[in-house]
Structure 1
Amino acid sequence: MLPIDFCIPDAEAHVMSDGKVYLYGSLDCAADRWCSDSYRVVSGSNLKEWKVSKPCFSVKDVPWAGKTDMRRQLHLDEVKSIDDLPENIRMFLPKAARLVPIKLLVNQIAKQLNADAQQNLALFAPDCICKNGRYYLYFCMPDNTEGVAVADQPEGPFVNAAQLPVTGIDPAVFVDDDGTAYYYWGQFNSHGARLTPDMMHIEEGSIVDNLLTEQEHHFHEGSSMRKRNGIYYYVFADISRGKPTCLGYATSKSPLGPFTYQGIIVDNSNLNPESWNNHGSIEEINGQWYVFFHVSTTGKYKRKACMLPIEFDENGLIREVKFTEN
């Protein structure tokens, strides 16, 4: 069991080459906000006893932390109307914002975003993968920047952080059977691309936008990719029930789509109606597949990792896990 006060949400579960299961997630430490300024890795060999690593990566290891110009990062100088604003900004604007001249509004937004980025130095949901004997941690921050750091051990420490040329949150990484690595990210709509062989860069010209959308796939955020019997399973925070409390999934015969929405795997609102979101993964462990997800313990916040076994039907579709608090 994990310590009662240890809250790791957004868990990406991976069985590494040593046979142990490793959980990579963000770290909730406060009762009034999500995430914190560091990561810890959880590992175990029997799904009952878990070990928590020392802090393995923090915002202090990110060279650009607190220095991002949000006007430039979000291309705000190209905004000509409110409809051009990023959706995650537009959806929170009051109705009165439409009465403000767009240049003045953009200046106000940029000023506030820059102030928030400098004050809210946190690490959001990560993912990690092993390739060629090294471990690559992909991370994101509230300023919409994403990056990668490297370690020689699955629990870190992760060093030499490099920024990736994408904008968004919730990165996911997947290495296919042929050794090709893929990268996924996004909120409201998702993006995918191939990584270069060194795992540190996006392959030029490989980005595919709108892999999943809110309208067609109920995609909110929280990308995660797995493969089973030739089918690619794109797991994500599903908003089809009003809030992104579900983990839903879509499938494809290709790692870069097109993807077909298939339904919901698990809904954490059954455990806590105050839960706002969900984020997790599926992983095969000793021949059994599990879903990893989180549930809020203090209102919306302090989210704890959970896991449940899942089943596939004869067509490779995942049956929704039905459960109660007991």
Structure 2
Amino acid sequence: MKVLRKVAPTVAVVLSALSSTAQIKDSLNAPSSVLPGVFADPHIAAFGDTFYLYPTTDGTEGWKSTYFTCWSSRNLKDWKNEGTILDLPKDLTWAKERAWAPAIATKNGKYYYYFSADVNIGVAVSDKPTGPFKDPLGKPLVVKGALKGQMIDPMVFIDDDGAAYLYWGQGNCNIVKLNEDMISFDASKIIVFKPAGYNEGSFVFKRNGKYYLMWSEFDTRDPRYSVAYATSDFPTGPFVKAAQNPVLKGRGVVKGAGHHSVVKVPGRDEWYIAYHRFKIPDGNGYNRETCISPMRFDKNGNILPVDVFETPVSMKKVKASKK
């Protein structure tokens, strides 16, 4: 027994040391990005039995990208490049560069693609989630300088009753209900507000009757870039910021984790968050890569902190959604 008493503390010390070493190793060895190369601001969506990613093409100082791509997957791990779906110089008459932060929604049997172009917000339409997308307006949906802050980072949420809401803006969060055509709105009905810490990249989803507004804090070139959220009983607010924030942030070798989107696996209460981080190694705010991690909730519906070192479990089959 005397020997056991001496060994037990030693074992405890060794286990503690191993645990600490594992934690250090974990923070220094991040999983690979889900897309090859540098892509940022990923919008993830599920249509039918397929997931889609719509990112910003990264890798140029000043974010000078001129085109958008689409990627598809059945299991959230293996992604197929569906090619260029919107080329600003070829497909637009009003903007040629700064192709940023797209989003997609489906209604009326069509797919509506919202995007930033030269600090305006545009919309394009297609019969398929993989495009090609065409500009139905020949002008921005939201023009540069229309409101305070930058007119960037659109996101569209479609509620259970079919009503669609557009969220956008850097510096302030702007909300407006879209008309039935999905490509127009009443500008007199725009709601402008700024949650504490809000910078850009708003995203909205609904779970168990509660509306979640998420956004990115700090600047995308800042290693502290992170994601926070607030909730409301209505899609237009008022939104109350959660006590436990941010829910997504970098750790260890992962820097600048933010500008996210969220997807629910069709037929399940299972959620994933897509986001970008500084490219590993040697990344920065102009060289970012796309990642996906599970996102979970507690029994009260609060979003739990996301582990940026956790990746999705490969899925064998996804139930097709109705949309």
Deviations 1:194-217 (A, max 9, x none): 00101010135321111xx2xx42
Closer, same or farther: CA 244–221 of 1 in aligned 2, 3 Å = farther
Pick from 56, 66, 74 the counterpart of residue 26 of structure 1: 56
Deviations 1:15-51 (A, max 9, x none): 11x2211111211144x44351100011111112111
Deviation at 1:220, TM superposition (A): 0.5
Contact in 2 for aligned 1:37/1:59 (Cα 8 Å): yes
Question: Hey, what does 2:186 align to over in structure 1?
Answer: 203
Q: Does 1:157 align with 2:136?
A: no
Matched AA of 2:115: F
Question: Hey, what does 1:42 align to over in structure 2?
Answer: 71
Deviation at 1:244, TM superposition (A): 5.6
* In structure 2, distance between residues paired with 1:58 and 1:151: 14
Closer, same or farther: CA 2–296 of 1 in aligned 2, 3 Å = closer
Contact in 1 for aligned 2:33/2:291 (Cα 8 Å): no
Question: Hey, what does 2:101 align to over in structure 1?
Answer: 125
Pick from 296, 302, 317 the counterpart of residue 311 of structure 1: 296
Closer, same or farther: CA 265–2 of 1 in aligned 2, 3 Å = closer
Question: Hey, what does 1:65 align to over in structure 2?
Answer: 95
Deviation at 1:8, TM superposition (A): 2.2
* Aligned length in residues: 262
- Structure 2: which 5+ residue stretches go unaligned? 1-31, 312-323
Contact in 2 for aligned 1:296/1:302 (Cα 8 Å): yes
RMSD between aligned residues: 2.4
| TM-score, length basis structure 1 | 0.74
Contact in 2 for aligned 1:217/1:250 (Cα 8 Å): no
Closer, same or farther: CA 2–57 of 1 in aligned 2, 3 Å = farther
Pick from 167, 171, 176 the counterpart of residue 154 of structure 2: 171
Q: Does 1:239 align with 2:218?
A: yes
Q: Does 1:266 align with 2:248?
A: yes
Contact in 2 for aligned 1:42/1:51 (Cα 8 Å): yes
Deviation at 1:251, TM superposition (A): 0.8
Contact in 1 for aligned 2:251/2:308 (Cα 8 Å): no
* In structure 2, distance between residues paired with 1:183 and 1:175: 9
Deviation at 1:192, TM superposition (A): 0.1
Contact in 2 for aligned 1:10/1:294 (Cα 8 Å): yes
Question: How high is the sequence identity, in percent, across the aligned residues?
Answer: 34
Q: Secondary structure at the match of 1:314?
A: coil
Question: Hey, what does 2:305 align to over in structure 1?
Answer: 320
- Structure 1: which 5+ residue stretches go unaligned? 67-120
* In structure 2, distance between residues paired with 1:20 and 1:304: 21
Pick from 192, 204, 208 the counterpart of residue 229 of structure 1: 208
Structure with higher RCO (Cα < 8 A, 6+ apart): 2
Question: Hey, what does 1:75 align to over in structure 2?
Answer: none
Deviations 1:50-98 (A, max 9, x none): 11111110212121116xxxxxxxxxxxxxxxxxxxxxxxxxxxxxxxx
Matched AA of 1:153: K
Q: Is the deviation greater in 256-265 or in 175-184?
A: 256-265
